[in-house]
Structure 1
Amino acid sequence: MKKPIDEIFPNPPEDLDPHALIEERVPKHVAVIMDGNGRWAKKRLLNRLNGHKAGVEAVRELIRAANDVGVECLTIYSFSTENWKRPEEEVTGLMDLFAKTMLAEVDGLHEEHVVVCPMGDLSALPQDTQDAFMKAWEKTKDNDGMKLFVAVNYGSRKEICDAVNEIVMEAIEQHEETYTVPLVTEELLSKHLYVSGIPDPDLLIRTSGEMRLSNFLLWQIAYSEFYCTDTLWPDFDRYEFLRALLDYQSRNRRFGAVS
């Protein structure tokens, strides 16, 4: 870990012992479905966009904590391909929030050596939002720290379809006369996903008590450990993250083998 454990978790609840966290067993890749912003706002008689703004603070807290404990890759589900069905005012507000947040946070992330990697179909986003994500990528791409994958306009089924189509198109371009599509193996398809060459998530966290995958990383989480909490996303702080890590470390990961 880059920092002393007491500095990372300075005021733990009585039922949590940060020193129980084993550095060698910190998951290399953590993926998070951040759910509950709307319900958090509703409980406080606020509009949904206020909930999303509060959720940004939780994202900031998570990134710092994950980076500090030595997570190598962190993937956060920010906006799905299905989220376009939400009210236009909410979607517009989210896109503006994404752009402003990226521009405001990129310098701090850069100082922490974090690599910001947008993941999804950015072409459908407003130009200002696209530009903000690409600026973050360009500024941080050569960093050597934690990789932060921001899944935006992301859908796993589309990702898999895009990967297969890319394999087919490459085969057509390389074999114009004979047109031979190669045998599609797990390795070949993995190379054509939006992001390749990184470990699959060890741990998938979902907040707000929901028990579904919501079209997120369907290929990559084949053997991920799941951790679900009733905590709404804006209330998910570094100590809730610590609970998830400790729970993960209590698991016996067998990958299909006999225990």
Structure 2
Amino acid sequence: MKALYRLYAGILRRQLAGLPMPQHVAIAMDGNRRWARGAGYDDVRIGHRFGAEHLELFLQWCSEAGIRCVTAWVASADNMRRRDSAEVDYLMHLTETVLADHVRRDHNWRLHVAGQLDLLPDSTARALKEAVEETRYRSGAGELTIAIGYSGRGEVLDAVRELLDEAAASGRSAAEVAGALTEDDIRRHLYLPDLPDPELVIRTSGELRMSDFLLWQTARSEIAFCDVYWPAFREIDLLRALRTYGRRQLERSS
């Protein structure tokens, strides 16, 4: 089976030759709990551990494919508020001890964080901020964004609030702001305004919806829905998504 897998992966890589490639891929890492139940674990938190560790492999595959920008959705703001507190606490522990630690060791990436950090435990927010600072000046590294405590609607609301606060501080009226408002005005108040929008978004677990992920940034993105749960996501699943993306881009340009 391993030999057949390697053969198929090699075929997929050859099929990517000459196709347009996305520079920014966003991944909604969904299905950890369902994967754990399907694998026979009574404690669904085991799925989160496998999921957190699996991101390391995904980043390696992206690097090898030439993808320079990745956004990974770790936990939504809704998850933080509604999930069982023991499960959330464990996920935050994994963020500190697995995700942040991996980025410190993997010099291929600079870390960014998007989300409402006030929803996170102090220790988690601190670990992420320290990892951001530690990776900030890595020469030639790609850009990795961890979306945690994240809501797409919340990001747009925060951007509008900042824009209005900025306008009020400068003495501009609401009518003046409304009359001159542009998309760029909103964009420059997003959590990470300097990063490019993702050209490709992958969501695992068979869910056919975006939920609340990067609602502003994905308006023109290609979406690839994958049936497998996140811990079972394979390199060939990524390669097939890249192949579909490239072929669609060629079709549009022809």
TM-score by length of 2: 0.89
Q: Does 1:74 align with 2:70?
A: yes
Match of 2:22 in 1: 27
Distance of 2:242 and 2:174 partners within structure 1: 52
1:103, CA displacement in angstroms?
A: 4.1
Bigger drift between 117-126 and 14-23 goes to 14-23
2:225 aligns with 228
Point out the structure with the larger helix share.
Answer: 2
Task: State the number of aligned residues.
Answer: 246
Query: Cα 1:224–1:41, aligned 2, differ >3 Å: closer, same or farther?
Result: same
Q: Is the 8 A contact 2:52 2:95 kept in 1?
A: no
Cα distance between partner residues in 2 of 1:213 and 1:153:
16
Structure 1: gaps spanning 5 or more residues = 1-9
Where in structure 2 are the equivalents of 1:170-209 lying within 5 Å? 170-175=166-171, 180-181=176-177, 183-209=180-206
Give CA deviations for 1:205-253 in whole Å, capped at 9, x if unaligned. 0111101111011111111111111111001122221111111111137
The residue type equivalent to 2:35 in the other structure is W
Write the distance in 2 (CA, Å) between the matches of 1:140 and 1:147.
10
Counterpart-to-counterpart distance in 1, 2:71 and 2:204: 14
Residue equivalent to 1:13: 8
Partner of 1:122: 117
**Structure 2, unaligned runs of 5 or more:** none
Matched residues in 2 for 1:241 and 1:16: separation? 13
Residue type of the partner of 1:207?
T
Shift of 1:68: 2.2
Q: CA RMSD in A?
A: 2.3
Distance 2:160 2:21 in 1: 33
1:72 positional shift: 1.9
TM-score computed with the length of structure 1 as normaliser: 0.88
Q: Distance in 2 between matches of 1:56 and 1:214?
A: 20
How far residue 176 of structure 1 moved from its aligned partner, in angstroms, is 6.8
Aligned residues of 2:74 and 2:147 also touching (Cα < 8 A): yes
Distance 1:12 1:173 in 2: 61
Q: Cα–Cα, structure 1 residues 149 and 219, in superposed 2: closer, same or farther, change >3 Å? A: same
Distance in 1 between the 2:99 and 2:9 partners? Answer: 35
Q: Which moved more, 1:11-20 or 1:132-141?
A: 11-20
Please tell me whether the aligned partners of residues 172 and 179 of structure 1 are also in contact (alpha carbons under 8 angstroms): no
Q: Equivalent residues in 2 for 1:14-93 (5 A)?
A: 16-22=11-17, 25-46=20-41, 47-84=43-80, 85-93=82-90
Paired AA for residue 39 in structure 1: R
Residue 95 of structure 1 pairs with residue 92 of structure 2: yes
In the alignment, what sits opposite 1:3? none
What is the distance in 2 between the residues matched to 1:23 and 1:254?
Answer: 13
Is 2:151 aligned against 1:155?
Answer: yes
Instruction: After TM superposition, give the deviation of residue 181 of structure 1 in Å.
Output: 2.4
